[in-house]
Structure 1
Amino acid sequence: MKFKLIALDVDGTLLDDDHNLTERTKQTIQDVHDAGCHIVLCTGRAPASTLPILQELGLEGTMITHNGAATVYADEKGQALVNEFTFTLSEIQPMLDYVRREGIHFDVCTPFNMYIERIGEEERLMYQKYLISPKLVTDVTELGIPLVKLTLFGQPEVLDRVQREWDEQKLYGDLRMIRSGDLFIDVMSAKANKGNALKALADELEIEPEAIMAIGNYYNDMEMMAFAGLGIAVANSPEDVKQAADEVTASNNDEGVHQALVKYCLELV
Protein backbone atom coordinates (compact mmCIF):
# COMPACT_ATOMS: atom_id res chain seq x y z
CA MET A 1 0.00 0.00 0.00
CA LYS A 2 1.30 3.43 -0.94
CA PHE A 3 -0.08 5.10 2.19
CA LYS A 4 1.22 4.22 5.64
CA LEU A 5 -0.75 6.75 7.69
CA ILE A 6 -4.31 8.02 7.29
CA ALA A 7 -5.23 11.18 9.22
CA LEU A 8 -8.99 11.59 9.64
CA ASP A 9 -10.89 14.59 10.89
CA VAL A 10 -13.92 13.48 12.92
CA ASP A 11 -16.87 15.88 12.93
CA GLY A 12 -18.13 16.78 9.47
CA THR A 13 -15.74 14.28 7.89
CA LEU A 14 -15.71 10.82 9.46
CA LEU A 15 -19.08 11.20 11.19
CA ASP A 16 -22.31 12.11 9.42
CA ASP A 17 -24.40 15.09 10.45
CA ASP A 18 -26.08 12.99 13.15
CA HIS A 19 -22.60 12.21 14.56
CA ASN A 20 -22.82 8.56 13.55
CA LEU A 21 -20.37 6.17 11.90
CA THR A 22 -21.74 3.90 9.19
CA GLU A 23 -20.99 0.20 9.38
CA ARG A 24 -19.43 0.27 5.92
CA THR A 25 -17.07 3.09 6.88
CA LYS A 26 -16.03 1.23 10.04
CA GLN A 27 -15.33 -1.93 8.06
CA THR A 28 -13.33 -0.06 5.42
CA ILE A 29 -11.18 1.64 8.06
CA GLN A 30 -10.59 -1.72 9.71
CA ASP A 31 -9.56 -3.21 6.35
CA VAL A 32 -7.08 -0.36 5.77
CA HIS A 33 -5.71 -0.79 9.28
CA ASP A 34 -5.39 -4.55 8.81
CA ALA A 35 -3.44 -3.88 5.61
CA GLY A 36 -0.76 -2.19 7.73
CA CYS A 37 -1.78 1.48 7.77
CA HIS A 38 -1.80 3.73 10.86
CA ILE A 39 -5.21 5.33 11.42
CA VAL A 40 -4.98 8.63 13.32
CA LEU A 41 -8.00 10.69 14.35
CA CYS A 42 -7.16 14.40 14.07
CA THR A 43 -9.86 16.48 15.69
CA GLY A 44 -10.82 19.57 17.60
CA ARG A 45 -12.32 17.29 20.22
CA ALA A 46 -10.71 16.54 23.56
CA PRO A 47 -9.27 13.05 24.17
CA ALA A 48 -12.28 12.02 26.29
CA SER A 49 -14.72 12.64 23.43
CA THR A 50 -12.37 11.26 20.76
CA LEU A 51 -11.64 7.96 22.47
CA PRO A 52 -15.20 6.57 22.05
CA ILE A 53 -14.89 7.08 18.28
CA LEU A 54 -11.53 5.30 18.24
CA GLN A 55 -13.00 2.45 20.24
CA GLU A 56 -16.05 2.22 17.98
CA LEU A 57 -13.60 1.74 15.12
CA GLY A 58 -12.03 -1.12 17.08
CA LEU A 59 -8.68 0.68 17.21
CA GLU A 60 -6.14 2.02 19.67
CA GLY A 61 -3.16 4.30 19.18
CA THR A 62 -2.40 7.98 18.73
CA MET A 63 -5.06 10.69 18.67
CA ILE A 64 -4.32 14.28 17.64
CA THR A 65 -6.79 16.32 19.69
CA HIS A 66 -7.68 19.95 20.45
CA ASN A 67 -6.88 20.82 16.81
CA GLY A 68 -3.27 19.74 17.23
CA ALA A 69 -2.67 21.28 20.66
CA ALA A 70 -2.51 17.88 22.41
CA THR A 71 -1.40 14.50 21.05
CA VAL A 72 -2.42 11.50 23.13
CA TYR A 73 -1.72 7.77 22.95
CA ALA A 74 -4.58 5.51 24.01
CA ASP A 75 -4.68 1.77 24.57
CA GLU A 76 -6.31 -0.69 26.98
CA LYS A 77 -4.09 0.64 29.80
CA GLY A 78 -5.39 4.19 29.49
CA GLN A 79 -4.31 7.48 27.93
CA ALA A 80 -0.90 9.15 27.96
CA LEU A 81 0.05 12.64 26.82
CA VAL A 82 2.59 12.57 23.98
CA ASN A 83 2.86 16.27 23.15
CA GLU A 84 1.15 19.56 23.96
CA PHE A 85 1.33 23.24 23.00
CA THR A 86 0.24 25.38 25.95
CA PHE A 87 -0.40 29.02 26.83
CA THR A 88 -1.09 30.88 30.06
CA LEU A 89 -4.34 32.30 31.38
CA SER A 90 -2.83 35.79 31.36
CA GLU A 91 -2.46 35.55 27.57
CA ILE A 92 -6.22 35.17 27.09
CA GLN A 93 -7.37 37.66 29.73
CA PRO A 94 -8.41 40.32 27.16
CA MET A 95 -10.50 37.72 25.34
CA LEU A 96 -12.06 36.48 28.56
CA ASP A 97 -13.03 40.05 29.43
CA TYR A 98 -14.63 40.39 25.97
CA VAL A 99 -16.70 37.17 26.02
CA ARG A 100 -17.88 37.76 29.59
CA ARG A 101 -18.94 41.30 28.70
CA GLU A 102 -20.74 40.15 25.53
CA GLY A 103 -22.31 37.08 27.13
CA ILE A 104 -20.66 34.63 24.70
CA HIS A 105 -20.24 31.08 25.95
CA PHE A 106 -16.67 29.82 26.31
CA ASP A 107 -14.66 26.99 27.77
CA VAL A 108 -10.95 26.48 28.45
CA CYS A 109 -9.11 23.18 28.15
CA THR A 110 -6.09 21.37 29.46
CA PRO A 111 -5.26 18.20 27.50
CA PHE A 112 -7.66 16.07 29.56
CA ASN A 113 -10.10 18.51 31.21
CA MET A 114 -12.51 21.26 30.20
CA TYR A 115 -13.68 24.11 32.42
CA ILE A 116 -16.69 26.43 32.10
CA GLU A 117 -18.10 29.26 34.21
CA ARG A 118 -21.77 28.84 33.26
CA ILE A 119 -24.00 26.55 31.21
CA GLY A 120 -27.46 26.86 29.68
CA GLU A 121 -29.66 24.32 27.95
CA GLU A 122 -28.21 25.05 24.50
CA GLU A 123 -24.67 24.56 25.77
CA ARG A 124 -25.64 21.44 27.73
CA LEU A 125 -27.07 19.84 24.59
CA MET A 126 -23.98 20.79 22.59
CA TYR A 127 -21.63 19.19 25.13
CA GLN A 128 -23.84 16.12 25.30
CA LYS A 129 -23.70 15.76 21.51
CA TYR A 130 -19.89 15.87 21.60
CA LEU A 131 -19.65 13.48 24.59
CA ILE A 132 -18.13 16.17 26.83
CA SER A 133 -18.54 16.60 30.58
CA PRO A 134 -17.06 20.03 31.42
CA LYS A 135 -16.17 21.02 34.98
CA LEU A 136 -18.10 24.03 36.30
CA VAL A 137 -15.96 26.60 38.15
CA THR A 138 -16.62 30.10 39.44
CA ASP A 139 -13.71 31.77 37.64
CA VAL A 140 -11.40 30.01 35.17
CA THR A 141 -8.66 32.55 35.85
CA GLU A 142 -8.29 31.05 39.33
CA LEU A 143 -7.24 27.70 37.86
CA GLY A 144 -3.63 28.82 37.55
CA ILE A 145 -2.65 26.06 35.12
CA PRO A 146 -1.38 26.05 31.50
CA LEU A 147 -4.08 25.59 28.87
CA VAL A 148 -4.16 24.16 25.35
CA LYS A 149 -7.35 25.76 24.02
CA LEU A 150 -9.95 28.48 24.53
CA THR A 151 -13.18 27.79 22.63
CA LEU A 152 -16.12 30.10 21.94
CA PHE A 153 -19.56 28.67 21.12
CA GLY A 154 -22.21 30.83 19.49
CA GLN A 155 -24.33 31.54 16.46
CA PRO A 156 -22.43 32.13 13.18
CA GLU A 157 -23.28 35.84 12.98
CA VAL A 158 -22.01 36.40 16.52
CA LEU A 159 -18.75 34.56 15.84
CA ASP A 160 -18.35 36.40 12.53
CA ARG A 161 -18.37 39.64 14.51
CA VAL A 162 -15.93 38.24 17.08
CA GLN A 163 -13.51 37.17 14.35
CA ARG A 164 -13.68 40.57 12.70
CA GLU A 165 -13.22 42.57 15.89
CA TRP A 166 -10.50 40.34 17.34
CA ASP A 167 -8.60 40.52 14.07
CA GLU A 168 -8.88 44.30 13.98
CA GLN A 169 -7.80 44.65 17.61
CA LYS A 170 -5.28 41.73 17.55
CA LEU A 171 -6.95 40.72 20.78
CA TYR A 172 -5.40 37.24 20.65
CA GLY A 173 -1.85 38.65 20.70
CA ASP A 174 0.74 36.03 19.84
CA LEU A 175 -1.80 33.21 19.98
CA ARG A 176 -3.64 31.71 17.02
CA MET A 177 -7.36 32.12 16.36
CA ILE A 178 -9.13 29.72 14.00
CA ARG A 179 -12.72 29.03 13.02
CA SER A 180 -13.10 25.32 13.73
CA GLY A 181 -16.77 25.19 12.74
CA ASP A 182 -19.70 27.48 12.01
CA LEU A 183 -20.48 27.57 15.75
CA PHE A 184 -16.94 27.50 17.17
CA ILE A 185 -13.83 29.67 17.42
CA ASP A 186 -10.66 28.22 18.93
CA VAL A 187 -7.68 30.12 20.33
CA MET A 188 -4.45 28.15 20.81
CA SER A 189 -0.69 28.43 20.81
CA ALA A 190 0.68 29.73 17.52
CA LYS A 191 2.51 26.40 17.16
CA ALA A 192 -0.66 24.34 17.55
CA ASN A 193 -2.32 23.01 14.43
CA LYS A 194 -3.14 19.61 13.01
CA GLY A 195 -0.37 19.88 10.44
CA ASN A 196 2.40 20.43 12.99
CA ALA A 197 1.08 17.65 15.19
CA LEU A 198 0.85 15.30 12.22
CA LYS A 199 4.40 16.16 11.17
CA ALA A 200 5.71 15.43 14.67
CA LEU A 201 3.95 12.06 14.66
CA ALA A 202 5.17 11.23 11.16
CA ASP A 203 8.76 12.05 12.18
CA GLU A 204 8.45 9.76 15.19
CA LEU A 205 7.08 6.94 13.03
CA GLU A 206 9.61 7.68 10.25
CA ILE A 207 6.87 8.09 7.67
CA GLU A 208 7.40 10.49 4.77
CA PRO A 209 4.63 12.97 3.88
CA GLU A 210 4.19 11.23 0.52
CA ALA A 211 2.95 8.15 2.41
CA ILE A 212 0.30 10.12 4.33
CA MET A 213 -3.32 10.78 3.38
CA ALA A 214 -5.36 13.39 5.28
CA ILE A 215 -9.11 13.84 4.96
CA GLY A 216 -10.92 16.87 6.39
CA ASN A 217 -13.76 19.32 5.93
CA TYR A 218 -12.93 22.69 7.47
CA TYR A 219 -10.35 25.45 7.83
CA ASN A 220 -8.73 23.78 10.85
CA ASP A 221 -7.93 20.80 8.59
CA MET A 222 -6.04 22.73 5.92
CA GLU A 223 -2.55 22.47 7.49
CA MET A 224 -2.72 18.69 7.80
CA MET A 225 -4.13 18.37 4.29
CA ALA A 226 -1.26 20.51 2.99
CA PHE A 227 1.35 18.47 4.88
CA ALA A 228 0.06 15.11 3.67
CA GLY A 229 1.08 13.70 0.33
CA LEU A 230 -2.61 13.50 -0.51
CA GLY A 231 -5.01 15.97 1.07
CA ILE A 232 -8.68 15.20 0.49
CA ALA A 233 -11.68 17.38 1.29
CA VAL A 234 -15.17 15.99 1.70
CA ALA A 235 -17.84 17.50 -0.54
CA ASN A 236 -19.52 19.36 2.35
CA SER A 237 -16.39 21.48 2.90
CA PRO A 238 -16.40 25.24 2.24
CA GLU A 239 -15.42 26.00 -1.34
CA ASP A 240 -11.98 27.43 -0.52
CA VAL A 241 -11.15 24.33 1.56
CA LYS A 242 -12.05 22.14 -1.41
CA GLN A 243 -9.93 24.31 -3.71
CA ALA A 244 -6.94 23.93 -1.39
CA ALA A 245 -7.25 20.12 -1.36
CA ASP A 246 -5.62 17.74 -3.82
CA GLU A 247 -8.85 15.80 -4.29
CA VAL A 248 -12.50 15.96 -3.25
CA THR A 249 -14.50 12.94 -2.11
CA ALA A 250 -18.19 12.52 -1.32
CA SER A 251 -19.76 14.29 1.65
CA ASN A 252 -19.70 13.08 5.24
CA ASN A 253 -23.35 12.03 4.80
CA ASP A 254 -22.45 9.97 1.71
CA GLU A 255 -19.56 8.02 3.27
CA GLY A 256 -16.83 10.19 1.76
CA VAL A 257 -14.14 8.65 3.96
CA HIS A 258 -15.16 5.14 2.89
CA GLN A 259 -15.10 6.14 -0.78
CA ALA A 260 -11.68 7.79 -0.53
CA LEU A 261 -10.12 4.86 1.29
CA VAL A 262 -11.48 2.37 -1.22
CA LYS A 263 -10.25 4.45 -4.16
CA TYR A 264 -6.79 5.38 -2.90
CA CYS A 265 -5.95 2.48 -0.58
CA LEU A 266 -7.87 -0.72 -1.04
CA GLU A 267 -8.13 -0.68 -4.83
CA LEU A 268 -4.36 -0.24 -4.99
CA VAL A 269 -3.47 -3.11 -2.63
Structure 2
Amino acid sequence: MPHSRATLPTPSASPEPGIPGIRLVVTDMDGTLLDDDKRVPAGLWEVLEQLRERGVLFCPASGRQYATLAREFARAAEGMVFIAENGTYVVRDGVELSSDPLAPAVVTDVVEAVRGLAAGGTDLGAVVCGKRSAYVERADEPFLTEVRKYYVEHRVVGDVTEVDDDILKVALYDFGPAERGTAPALARFAATHQVVVSGEHWVDVMNRTADKGAAVRRLQRELGITPAQTMVFGDYLNDLEMLDTAEWSFAMANAHPDVVQRARHLAPANTDNGVLRTITRLLGLPEIRTSA
Protein backbone atom coordinates (compact mmCIF):
# COMPACT_ATOMS: atom_id res chain seq x y z
CA MET A 1 0.00 0.00 0.00
CA PRO A 2 1.64 3.33 -0.99
CA HIS A 3 2.26 6.00 1.60
CA SER A 4 0.16 9.12 1.55
CA ARG A 5 2.05 12.03 0.06
CA ALA A 6 2.24 15.71 0.92
CA THR A 7 3.43 18.39 -1.48
CA LEU A 8 5.87 20.95 -0.16
CA PRO A 9 4.89 24.61 -0.28
CA THR A 10 5.96 26.70 -3.25
CA PRO A 11 9.28 28.54 -2.87
CA SER A 12 7.45 31.79 -2.15
CA ALA A 13 5.61 30.32 0.82
CA SER A 14 6.78 30.87 4.39
CA PRO A 15 9.18 28.18 5.64
CA GLU A 16 7.55 25.41 7.63
CA PRO A 17 8.63 24.78 11.23
CA GLY A 18 11.87 22.83 11.49
CA ILE A 19 11.67 19.05 11.81
CA PRO A 20 13.23 18.13 15.16
CA GLY A 21 15.80 15.41 15.54
CA ILE A 22 16.99 14.82 11.96
CA ARG A 23 20.44 13.21 12.15
CA LEU A 24 20.86 11.70 8.67
CA VAL A 25 20.14 13.09 5.19
CA VAL A 26 20.55 10.64 2.32
CA THR A 27 20.20 11.67 -1.32
CA ASP A 28 20.47 10.07 -4.71
CA MET A 29 22.60 11.99 -7.20
CA ASP A 30 21.43 11.87 -10.82
CA GLY A 31 17.91 13.19 -11.28
CA THR A 32 17.77 14.11 -7.60
CA LEU A 33 20.56 16.28 -6.17
CA LEU A 34 22.23 17.09 -9.49
CA ASP A 35 20.59 19.13 -12.23
CA ASP A 36 20.06 17.70 -15.70
CA ASP A 37 23.57 18.81 -16.70
CA LYS A 38 25.01 16.70 -13.85
CA ARG A 39 26.05 19.77 -11.87
CA VAL A 40 25.88 20.15 -8.09
CA PRO A 41 23.35 22.83 -7.13
CA ALA A 42 24.29 26.33 -6.08
CA GLY A 43 24.31 26.54 -2.30
CA LEU A 44 25.33 22.92 -1.72
CA TRP A 45 28.55 23.66 0.16
CA GLU A 46 26.85 26.17 2.46
CA VAL A 47 24.12 23.66 3.29
CA LEU A 48 26.67 20.92 3.98
CA GLU A 49 28.49 23.22 6.38
CA GLN A 50 25.24 24.04 8.18
CA LEU A 51 24.37 20.35 8.47
CA ARG A 52 27.83 19.54 9.82
CA GLU A 53 27.51 22.26 12.46
CA ARG A 54 24.21 20.73 13.57
CA GLY A 55 25.62 17.21 13.72
CA VAL A 56 23.57 15.99 10.75
CA LEU A 57 25.33 13.41 8.57
CA PHE A 58 24.95 13.99 4.82
CA CYS A 59 25.21 10.84 2.71
CA PRO A 60 25.20 10.63 -1.11
CA ALA A 61 23.69 7.31 -2.29
CA SER A 62 24.24 6.55 -5.94
CA GLY A 63 24.80 4.01 -8.64
CA ARG A 64 28.03 5.87 -9.30
CA GLN A 65 31.33 4.41 -8.15
CA TYR A 66 33.00 5.52 -4.94
CA ALA A 67 35.87 7.27 -6.76
CA THR A 68 33.41 9.41 -8.71
CA LEU A 69 31.48 10.40 -5.58
CA ALA A 70 34.65 11.15 -3.63
CA ARG A 71 35.87 13.45 -6.40
CA GLU A 72 32.51 15.24 -6.62
CA PHE A 73 32.47 15.96 -2.87
CA ALA A 74 36.23 16.37 -2.34
CA ARG A 75 35.91 19.78 -0.69
CA ALA A 76 33.48 18.45 1.96
CA ALA A 77 34.21 14.71 2.08
CA GLU A 78 35.72 14.49 5.59
CA GLY A 79 33.43 12.38 7.75
CA MET A 80 30.88 11.92 4.95
CA VAL A 81 29.53 8.43 4.25
CA PHE A 82 29.31 7.44 0.58
CA ILE A 83 26.85 4.76 -0.49
CA ALA A 84 28.25 3.82 -3.89
CA GLU A 85 27.38 1.31 -6.61
CA ASN A 86 23.70 1.21 -5.59
CA GLY A 87 24.49 0.16 -2.03
CA THR A 88 27.05 -2.54 -2.74
CA TYR A 89 29.96 -0.43 -1.45
CA VAL A 90 29.86 1.93 1.55
CA VAL A 91 32.91 4.02 2.45
CA ARG A 92 33.74 6.70 5.03
CA ASP A 93 37.02 8.64 5.00
CA GLY A 94 38.50 6.11 2.60
CA VAL A 95 37.67 3.16 4.86
CA GLU A 96 35.26 0.47 3.69
CA LEU A 97 32.27 0.10 6.00
CA SER A 98 30.57 -2.65 4.00
CA SER A 99 30.52 -4.32 0.59
CA ASP A 100 28.52 -7.02 -1.16
CA PRO A 101 30.51 -8.44 -4.11
CA LEU A 102 29.09 -10.74 -6.76
CA ALA A 103 30.34 -14.30 -7.19
CA PRO A 104 32.73 -14.52 -10.19
CA ALA A 105 30.52 -17.12 -11.87
CA VAL A 106 27.58 -14.72 -11.79
CA VAL A 107 29.67 -11.94 -13.31
CA THR A 108 30.65 -14.28 -16.13
CA ASP A 109 27.04 -15.35 -16.73
CA VAL A 110 25.80 -11.76 -16.94
CA VAL A 111 28.63 -10.68 -19.22
CA GLU A 112 28.03 -13.62 -21.54
CA ALA A 113 24.33 -12.73 -21.66
CA VAL A 114 25.24 -9.15 -22.61
CA ARG A 115 27.60 -10.38 -25.30
CA GLY A 116 24.77 -12.50 -26.69
CA LEU A 117 22.37 -9.56 -26.75
CA ALA A 118 24.98 -7.42 -28.50
CA ALA A 119 25.61 -10.14 -31.08
CA GLY A 120 21.86 -10.21 -31.71
CA GLY A 121 21.80 -6.51 -32.52
CA THR A 122 21.05 -4.79 -29.18
CA ASP A 123 23.10 -1.62 -28.83
CA LEU A 124 24.43 -2.01 -25.29
CA GLY A 125 27.60 -2.52 -23.30
CA ALA A 126 28.58 -3.92 -19.90
CA VAL A 127 30.43 -2.06 -17.16
CA VAL A 128 31.90 -4.52 -14.65
CA CYS A 129 32.15 -2.46 -11.46
CA GLY A 130 34.98 -3.36 -9.12
CA LYS A 131 36.15 -1.76 -5.90
CA ARG A 132 39.27 -0.34 -7.55
CA SER A 133 37.95 0.44 -11.02
CA ALA A 134 35.21 -0.17 -13.56
CA TYR A 135 36.06 -2.39 -16.54
CA VAL A 136 34.65 -2.37 -20.06
CA GLU A 137 35.31 -4.23 -23.29
CA ARG A 138 33.47 -1.83 -25.55
CA ALA A 139 35.77 1.06 -26.47
CA ASP A 140 33.80 3.23 -28.92
CA GLU A 141 33.48 6.89 -27.98
CA PRO A 142 29.66 7.07 -27.67
CA PHE A 143 29.73 4.28 -25.08
CA LEU A 144 32.77 5.60 -23.20
CA THR A 145 31.17 9.05 -23.05
CA GLU A 146 28.35 7.55 -20.98
CA VAL A 147 30.73 5.49 -18.84
CA ARG A 148 32.85 8.53 -17.92
CA LYS A 149 29.83 10.32 -16.44
CA TYR A 150 29.58 7.79 -13.60
CA TYR A 151 32.92 5.95 -13.48
CA VAL A 152 35.91 8.28 -13.21
CA GLU A 153 38.09 5.19 -12.67
CA HIS A 154 37.58 2.89 -15.67
CA ARG A 155 39.70 0.70 -17.89
CA VAL A 156 39.20 -0.86 -21.30
CA VAL A 157 40.25 -4.52 -21.14
CA GLY A 158 40.16 -7.49 -23.47
CA ASP A 159 37.97 -9.63 -21.21
CA VAL A 160 36.07 -8.15 -18.28
CA THR A 161 35.55 -11.59 -16.73
CA GLU A 162 39.29 -11.96 -16.08
CA VAL A 163 40.00 -8.79 -14.08
CA ASP A 164 41.52 -9.11 -10.60
CA ASP A 165 39.10 -7.13 -8.45
CA ASP A 166 36.09 -7.60 -6.18
CA ILE A 167 33.12 -7.04 -8.50
CA LEU A 168 30.25 -5.19 -6.85
CA LYS A 169 27.78 -5.11 -9.71
CA VAL A 170 27.48 -5.35 -13.47
CA ALA A 171 25.97 -2.20 -14.96
CA LEU A 172 24.57 -2.30 -18.47
CA TYR A 173 24.15 0.75 -20.68
CA ASP A 174 21.40 0.36 -23.28
CA PHE A 175 21.26 3.06 -25.94
CA GLY A 176 17.52 2.38 -26.10
CA PRO A 177 15.05 2.44 -23.19
CA ALA A 178 16.45 0.02 -20.61
CA GLU A 179 13.13 -0.59 -18.88
CA ARG A 180 11.68 -2.05 -22.09
CA GLY A 181 14.85 -3.50 -23.61
CA THR A 182 17.74 -4.83 -21.57
CA ALA A 183 15.86 -5.32 -18.27
CA PRO A 184 13.31 -7.84 -19.65
CA ALA A 185 16.09 -9.62 -21.56
CA LEU A 186 17.90 -10.23 -18.27
CA ALA A 187 14.80 -11.37 -16.40
CA ARG A 188 16.24 -14.84 -15.76
CA PHE A 189 18.78 -13.34 -13.37
CA ALA A 190 16.00 -11.81 -11.28
CA ALA A 191 15.21 -15.22 -9.79
CA THR A 192 18.45 -15.15 -7.79
CA HIS A 193 19.76 -11.59 -8.06
CA GLN A 194 18.53 -8.03 -8.34
CA VAL A 195 18.00 -6.66 -11.84
CA VAL A 196 17.38 -2.98 -11.21
CA VAL A 197 16.57 -0.25 -13.73
CA SER A 198 18.66 2.60 -12.32
CA GLY A 199 18.11 5.15 -15.10
CA GLU A 200 16.52 5.57 -18.49
CA HIS A 201 19.38 3.68 -20.14
CA TRP A 202 20.95 1.77 -17.22
CA VAL A 203 20.29 -1.64 -15.68
CA ASP A 204 22.28 -3.00 -12.72
CA VAL A 205 22.70 -6.65 -11.73
CA MET A 206 23.62 -7.08 -8.06
CA ASN A 207 23.27 -9.53 -5.22
CA ARG A 208 19.77 -9.84 -3.85
CA THR A 209 21.03 -8.63 -0.48
CA ALA A 210 22.40 -5.40 -1.92
CA ASP A 211 20.48 -2.18 -2.48
CA LYS A 212 20.55 1.40 -1.25
CA GLY A 213 17.95 0.64 1.39
CA ALA A 214 19.99 -2.17 2.91
CA ALA A 215 23.02 0.13 3.05
CA VAL A 216 21.05 2.90 4.77
CA ARG A 217 19.57 0.49 7.32
CA ARG A 218 23.02 -0.85 8.15
CA LEU A 219 24.27 2.70 8.62
CA GLN A 220 21.29 3.56 10.84
CA ARG A 221 21.98 0.53 13.04
CA GLU A 222 25.67 1.34 13.40
CA LEU A 223 25.02 4.99 14.28
CA GLY A 224 21.87 4.48 16.36
CA ILE A 225 19.74 6.57 13.98
CA THR A 226 16.02 5.86 13.57
CA PRO A 227 13.77 6.25 10.48
CA ALA A 228 12.16 9.24 12.25
CA GLN A 229 15.60 10.89 12.30
CA THR A 230 16.26 10.18 8.63
CA MET A 231 15.48 12.22 5.50
CA VAL A 232 15.83 10.55 2.09
CA PHE A 233 15.52 11.83 -1.51
CA GLY A 234 15.22 9.79 -4.71
CA ASP A 235 13.86 9.79 -8.23
CA TYR A 236 14.29 6.39 -9.87
CA LEU A 237 13.60 2.69 -9.38
CA ASN A 238 16.92 1.97 -7.68
CA ASP A 239 15.83 4.37 -4.91
CA LEU A 240 12.65 2.50 -3.93
CA GLU A 241 14.08 0.46 -1.04
CA MET A 242 15.94 3.50 0.27
CA LEU A 243 12.69 5.45 0.58
CA ASP A 244 11.41 2.81 2.99
CA THR A 245 14.18 3.58 5.49
CA ALA A 246 12.94 7.06 6.40
CA GLU A 247 9.80 8.64 7.75
CA TRP A 248 10.85 11.75 5.83
CA SER A 249 11.08 10.18 2.36
CA PHE A 250 10.84 12.47 -0.67
CA ALA A 251 10.30 11.75 -4.35
CA MET A 252 11.35 14.51 -6.69
CA ALA A 253 8.46 16.14 -8.53
CA ASN A 254 9.73 14.69 -11.82
CA ALA A 255 10.49 11.23 -10.39
CA HIS A 256 9.46 7.89 -11.88
CA PRO A 257 5.76 7.26 -11.06
CA ASP A 258 6.60 4.23 -8.92
CA VAL A 259 8.93 6.37 -6.81
CA VAL A 260 6.24 9.02 -6.34
CA GLN A 261 3.87 6.32 -5.11
CA ARG A 262 6.42 4.87 -2.69
CA ALA A 263 7.58 8.12 -1.06
CA ARG A 264 5.74 9.85 1.76
CA HIS A 265 6.30 13.35 0.38
CA LEU A 266 7.09 15.24 -2.82
CA ALA A 267 10.01 17.65 -3.25
CA PRO A 268 10.49 20.12 -6.09
CA ALA A 269 12.21 18.72 -9.18
CA ASN A 270 15.97 18.30 -9.41
CA THR A 271 15.90 21.06 -12.04
CA ASP A 272 14.43 23.35 -9.38
CA ASN A 273 17.03 22.61 -6.68
CA GLY A 274 14.50 20.46 -4.86
CA VAL A 275 16.82 18.71 -2.41
CA LEU A 276 18.46 21.84 -1.02
CA ARG A 277 15.22 23.82 -0.95
CA THR A 278 13.55 21.03 1.03
CA ILE A 279 16.42 20.59 3.48
CA THR A 280 16.74 24.34 4.04
CA ARG A 281 13.02 24.87 4.64
CA LEU A 282 12.20 21.85 6.74
CA LEU A 283 15.32 21.92 8.91
CA GLY A 284 15.05 25.67 9.37
CA LEU A 285 18.54 26.38 8.03
CA PRO A 286 19.61 29.98 7.41
CA GLU A 287 18.55 31.28 4.02
CA ILE A 288 21.24 30.74 1.42
CA ARG A 289 21.75 31.25 -2.29
CA THR A 290 20.14 28.22 -3.93
CA SER A 291 20.01 29.42 -7.52
CA ALA A 292 22.74 30.29 -9.96
User: Match for residue 175 of structure 1?
Assistant: 193
Taking a change above 3 Å as real, the CA distance of residues 68 and 236 of structure 1, as seen in their structure-2 partners, is same
Looking at structure 2, the residues matched to 240 and 159 of structure 1 have their Cα atoms a distance apart, in angstroms, of: 13
Contact in 2 for aligned 1:2/1:265 (Cα 8 Å):
no
Tell me whether 1:135 sits opposite 2:155 in the alignment. yes
How many residue pairs get aligned? The number is 262
Query: Per the alignment, in what secondary structure is the counterpart of residue 160 of structure 1?
Result: coil
- Choose the corresponding residue for 1:81, options 72, 88, 96: 96
Q: Distance in 2 between matches of 1:2 and 1:129?
A: 35
1:144, distance to aligned residue in structure 2 (A): 5.4
Question: 123-132 vs 60-69, which deviates more?
Answer: 123-132
Runs of 4+ in 1 over 4 A off after TM superposition: 56-59
Query: 3-state SS of the aligned residue for 1:156?
Result: coil
Deviation track 1:175-224 (CA, whole Å, cap 9, x = no partner) reads 11100000100001111011110011111111111100101111111111
Q: 5+ residue gaps in structure 2?
A: 1-19, 119-123, 287-292
Deviation (angstroms), 1:56:
4.4
Residues 141-164 of structure 1: CA deviation (Å, up to 9, x unaligned): 222554111000012335522222
1:13-28 equivalences in 2 (<5 Å): 13-28=32-47
Q: Distance in 2 between matches of 1:191 and 1:10?
A: 22
Is 1:194 the counterpart of 2:212? The answer is yes
Which residue pairs with 2:62 in the alignment? 43
| Partner of residue 80 from structure 2, selected from 48, 58, 61 | 61
**1:3–1:212 contact (8 Å) kept in structure 2:** yes
What are the equivalent positions in structure 2 for 1:48-127 lying under 5 Å apart? Answer: 48-57=67-76, 59-74=78-93, 79-103=94-118, 104-127=124-147
- Cα distance in 1 for partners of 2:74, 2:284 equals 22
SS of 2:205's equivalent in the other structure is strand
Q: For 1:176, what is the secondary structure of its paired residue?
A: strand
Secondary structure of the residue aligned to 1:83 is strand
Matches within 5 A, 1:136-151: 136-143=156-163, 145-151=165-171
Identity fraction in percent: 26
Letter of the structure 1 residue corresponding to residue 62 of structure 2: T
Structure in which a larger fraction of residues adopt helix: 1
Report the equivalent of 1:235.
Answer: 253
Query: TM-score if structure 1 supplies the norm length?
Result: 0.90
* Structure 1 residue 172, shift from structure 2 partner: 4.8
Report deviation, 1:119: 1.5
CA-to-aligned-CA distance 1:202-251 (integer Å, 9 cap, x gap)? 11111111100101111111111111121101112012211211111111
Q: Which residue of 275, 278, 281 maps to 1:257?
A: 275
Q: String of CA shifts for 1:10-45, please: whole Å, max 9, x gaps.
A: 111111011112222332232223222010111111
- The Cα shift of 1:140 comes to 1.6
Structure 1: how far apart are the matches of 2:178 and 2:231? 34
Gaps of 5+ in 1: none
Q: Map 1:211-230 to 2 at 5 A.
A: 211-230=229-248
Partners of 1:98 and 1:159 in 2: CA distance: 17
Distance 1:173 1:32, change over 3 A: same
- Normalised TM-score (structure 2): 0.84
